[in-house]
Amino acid sequence: MANPINSNPEGCEDFQKQLPALIESGADLEDNPHCKTCALCRALVDDLRTIAWQAWKRHNRDWES
């Protein structure tokens, strides 16, 4: 039986290897075919966005002080 979270672990490995370049390019990761079908990688991208947002807010808060 296929894993409902991700049926293609090799796809995850390829996606995650490409992730730094995709982020740097400004690509819309929600439109990435793998990210559309893989809950695990979609959650990773969401976590990275949250971390980046929190870092940005903290940087701006510290800058204004």
Containing domain of residue 61, as a range? Answer: 32-65
Pairwise CA distance, residues 26 & 5, whole Å? 26
Average pLDDT over residues 47-53: 93
Give the global pTM: 0.73
**What angle, 0 to 180 degrees and rounded to 10, lies between the N-to-C axes of helices 39-64 and 9-25?**
30
Structurally, how many domains does the chain consist of? 1
Residue 6's pLDDT band, with cuts at 50, 70 and 90, is low
* 18 assigned to some structural domain: no
* 40 assigned to some structural domain: yes
pLDDT tens digits, one per residue of 13-38: 999 999 999 999 999 998 899 998 99
Better-predicted residue by pLDDT, 30 or 61:
30
